[in-house]
């Protein structure tokens, strides 16, 4: 065999074998990866609305996904909002729960972020950031409290705490939440969140 023919044959064969191997691995792991993603969302919903028994997707567009959460008596106990936006360094993906009337935040959880470790990454920290979101009044847009305070009682009902040294990351999270809250209220007014309508169809 001439040299160029050998080169072509070897590379093609190696490529074909690699390709088929990867196709098999892809098939074998695809289901599990999708399952992990679903599970992650499920865990997050239970985290942001602790009384959730079951939940289902009720609204979805490019900016956010809304899950309706029901307790054991099938009563609506709130909506879980899954959304993302630009952070200080990269996209921040988060989920928060609101009560059925969209007037109070229940909890916030950060699903994905690449903020500065030790500073901005504290947005995933319960003690210095997340606990300050519980029970915030969100009828009006939320605002940021800085300099930071050390206990939720010291905040106004519609204020959330900034992280010392990571004001930008805190602001970005606030921005993402405020933007999606505004959108959520619009969707609600459009009647797309009511279970009655869904039951009728």
Binding site for other proteins (CB under 8 A): 3, 6-7, 10-11, 14-15, 18, 21-22, 25-26, 29, 32-33, 36, 40, 112, 114, 116-119
Q: Which is nearer to other proteins, 22 or 86 (CB)?
A: 22
- To other proteins, the closest distance from the beta carbon of 128 in angstroms equals 13
Nearest distance in Å: CB 66, other proteins: 24
How near is the Cβ of 29 to other proteins at its closest, in Å? 4
Structure tokens that stand for 191 in this block: 């009647």
Nearest CB to other proteins, comparing residues 97 and 120: 120
Is 89 exposed, middle or buried, given 0-12, 13-18 or 19+ CB atoms closer than 10 A?
middle
**Number of Cβ atoms within 10 Å of the Cβ of 174:** 18
**Min. distance of Cβ 13 from other proteins in angstroms?**
9
User: Least distance in Å: CB of 102 to other proteins?
Assistant: 30
Instruction: Pick between residue 43 and residue 75 the one whose CB is nearest to other proteins.
Output: 43
Cβ distance to other proteins smaller for residue 24 or 157: 24
Q: Which is nearer to other proteins, 17 or 197 (CB)?
A: 17
């Amino acid at each position: 065999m001439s040299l160029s023919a050998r080169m072509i044959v070897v590379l093609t064969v190696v490529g074909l074998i690699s390709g088929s191997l990867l196709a098999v691995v892809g098939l074998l792991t695809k289901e599990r990866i999708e399952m992990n993603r679903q599970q992650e969302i499920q865990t997050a919903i239970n985290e942001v609305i602790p009384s959730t028994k079951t939940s289902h997707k009720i609204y979805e567009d490019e900016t956010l996904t809304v899950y309706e959460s029901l307790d054991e008596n099938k009563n609506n106990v709130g909506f879980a909002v899954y959304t993302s936006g630009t952070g200080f360094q990269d996209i921040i993906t988060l989920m928060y729960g609101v009560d059925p009337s969209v007037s109070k935040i229940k909890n916030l959880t950060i699903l994905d972020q690449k903020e500065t470790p030790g500073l901005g990454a504290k947005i995933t920290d319960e003690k210095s950031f997340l606990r300050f979101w519980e029970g915030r009044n969100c009828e009006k847009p939320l605002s940021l409290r800085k300099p930071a305070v050390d206990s939720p009682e010291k905040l106004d009902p519609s204020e959330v705490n900034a992280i010392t040294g990571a004001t930008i990351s805190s602001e970005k999270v606030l921005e993402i939440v405020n933007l999606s809250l505004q959108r959520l209220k619009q969707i609600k007014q459009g009647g797309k969140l009511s279970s009655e309508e869904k039951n009728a169809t």
